[in-house]
Amino acid sequence: MEVQDVHAPLTNKIAFRYVEQDDEVAAFFDYPAIEKDKTYQMRIKELSNRQFPRESLVRYLLQYHKKFNADEKTFENINKLLNPKSVVVIGGQQAGLLTGPLYTIHKIISILKFAHKQEKLLKVPVLPVFWVAGEDHDFAEINHAFVLHEGRIEKRPIKQKNYHKLPASSLSLDKQLAKSWINEIVSTFEETVHTKNLLERLNEDINNSDTYVDFFINLVFTLFKGHGLIVVDSGDQGFRKIGASFTETMIHQNGELAENVLKKQLTVKELGYGEPIEMNENNAHLFYLQNGERVLLERDNGLFVGKNKECQFEESELLAIIKEKPELVSNNVVTRPLMQEYVFPTLAFISGPGEIAYWAVLKEAFHLFGFKVPPVIPRLMMSIIDRRADKYLRELGLNIEQMIQHGCEKEKESWLKKQPPYPIDQAVEEVLAGVMKAHQPLKELAKEIDANLTEIAEKNALMIQSQIHFLKKKMEKKLRFKHKVELDKFDYLNYSLKPLGAPQERVWNIFCYLNLYGYHFIEELIALDYEWNHQHKLIFV
């Protein structure tokens, strides 16, 4: 396995300008000089002057990780959080089935690699933390995987319903249904020497899980065992208690918080970057869990009310709820980064392109609470090139950068146009015309001999035409087969590297590759030497 860098510009405008170190976009962040070592030294100094709930966080994490197959190094890292000099590199994602698209795996690898790099440079404990967005309630975003079936890419959702807006952390996993779904997905894979072991380990992780978030976390610990990864579920009741006092602070200053974010978004929009976050001036940027369903809160004449009037609270009532049951109030896309900053001594945040865009409007929100936006590090962007894809790329003479960015549909059409023409339609038309012309005297002679032969002569003409059309179809079929070998190569490259016209990492799942190469594939990915240069990484297997 080896890694090769290629240039593949980010399509998100803010993210593209950010990695290009554009001054206009750099002004949206507190630590935009992410290439420089002194940036992280400055961040360490800033964090040393702040207080964090280290003791309560460590107690909680030690207890929480006991329910999973976390390794000894993870528990060691949790205890290191008690060291006032320790910091974290953190990033997060939703709890997708089978860990979701490949970018989740890429993000975890990015967290591990960047934490290791900074620990060597800074000589302080730098701990890898993965934040699972268990408070999210959109089940449709995590309930599926894509498979390649009979030459088509298909979306296969699990059949379990989430009739309410339940947070993923609270959504029970139907184990039998999950096992059936896993079998359905794996049945579309090519059977290999690893398939049986893969199914056994997946079923074991299902058996050890009560919720969808549990299943996700068990998979993560199975895949990244021995690397000391710390996992936190933002929807867990115990974790909500740690951040309760800060939730109260955000409620006290809610109007100012919303105003700061809205103003910044207007600035970003005026500069031509659109609106990264969907919101209005009354948005409280918090959810309330009512009867198991998440309700977005808005401010209305001094009250906090559900967006569709589902509930209503005085500020004092909402504060009392947080003291008694903090798990009932959760964060949205604006307040989640703030909660993360309150709880964890964050050296750096590992981000996807979309996250860079919405973090660009949060600077004043961070400052409101005495925080600074941590260095935002774009995660590693990767594409896995298997041997077959590598072979086809070379045989077809395709440019790999163009392939990663645009796929090869245009090249496929161009190849077809260059093939020697076979004028089948023209030849068939000419032959039919000639045969029918030659047949006409025969029909007339038959009619002259006996009028009853007219119908037979017509049928005879149709039979001759039918045989010519039969030959035409046979020629077309052979021609398609003649081209099929080459066309299949183009199709394979599109399926593999640009499925559905999207980047590989946004469609395919890591278990496609674990089935081919075994669980050790993850270790090989982690062991590669990646440069943090914002280039797209090609992983040649």
Supply the DSSP string of 44-112, one letter for each residue: HHHHHTS---HHHHHHHHHHHHTTTT--HHHHHHHHHTTSTT-EEEEEEE---GGGSBHHHHHHHHHHH
Q: Report yes or no on 312 lying in a domain.
A: no
CA proximity to 206, closest of 253, 235, 172: 172
Q: What is the pLDDT at residue 417? A: 77
DSSP 3-state percent helix, strand, coil across the chain (nearest 5): 55, 15, 30
Q: Are 43 and 375 in contact (CB under 8 A)?
A: yes
Does residue 477 belong to any structural domain of this protein? Answer: yes
Kindly state whether residue 266 falls inside one of the protein's structural domains.
no
- Residue 162: what pLDDT? 67
Give the count of domains, the chain. 2
Greatest extent of the chain over all pairs of C-alpha atoms, in Å: 114
| Domain stop point among 152, 179, 211 | 211
pLDDT attached to residue 402: 95
Strand partners, 283: 298
Per-residue pLDDT at 161: 78
Q: What is the pTM of this model?
A: 0.90
Residue where one domain finishes, among candidates 170, 194, 211: 211
Nearest to 109 by CA among 439, 530, 538, 423: 530
* Contact in structure between 388 and 116 (CB atoms under 8 Å): no
Confidence (pLDDT) at 392: 97
Instruction: Enumerate long-range contacts of 500-507, CB under 8 Å, 24 or more apart.
Output: 500/146, 500/153, 501/407, 503/381, 503/383, 503/404, 504/102, 504/383, 504/384, 505/101, 505/102, 505/103, 505/106, 505/381, 505/382, 505/383, 506/101, 506/102, 506/103, 507/101, 507/146, 507/153
Nearest residue to 465 (alpha-carbon basis) of 488, 511, 433? 433
pLDDT of residue 353: 95
Indicate whether 57 belongs to any domain: no
- Read off the DSSP letter of residue 379: P
> What's the order of all strands across the beta sheet hosting 536-540?
2-6, 536-540, 382-385
Inside any domain, residue 451: yes
Q: Output DSSP code: residue 172.
A: B
SS3 331: strand
Q: Rounded to whole angstroms, what are the CA distances from 186 to 191, 195, 512, 514?
A: 9, 8, 8, 11
Cα–Cα distance, 396 to 490 (Å, whole number): 8
Determine the structural domain holding residue 458 and report its residue range.
389-502
- Examine residue 254 and state whether it is found in any structural domain, yes or no: no
Give the integer Cα–Cα distance in Å for 390 and 226: 31
Whether residue 401 contacts residue 538, with contact meaning beta carbons closer than 8 Å, is answered with no
DSSP E strands, 332-427? 346-351, 376-378, 382-385
| Sequence-ordered list of residues with C-beta below 8 angstroms from that of 461, at least 6 positions apart, any chain | 436, 439, 443
Write the burial class of residue 156 (CB in 10 Å: 0-12 exposed, 13-18 middle, 19+ buried).
middle
- If the chain, 541 residues long, is cut into consecutive pieces of 10 residues, what is the mean pLDDT of each piece? 95 95 96 97 98 98 95 98 98 96 98 98 98 91 94 94 80 95 97 98 97 97 98 95 97 97 96 93 95 92 93 96 95 97 99 96 98 98 97 96 95 85 90 93 92 92 95 87 90 97 97 97 98 97 96
| Residue 218 counted as domain residue | no
Instruction: Please indicate, yes or no, if residue 121 is contained in any of the structural domains.
Output: no
Is 94 in contact with 142 (CB distance < 8 Å)? yes
Which pLDDT score is estimated for 409?
94
Q: Give the domain-ending residue among 211, 228, 261.
A: 211
Distance, CA of 459 to chain centre:
62
Q: Give CA–CA dist 302/429, Å, rounded.
A: 81
Distances (CA, A) of 85 to 81, 279, 345, 369: 8, 37, 9, 22
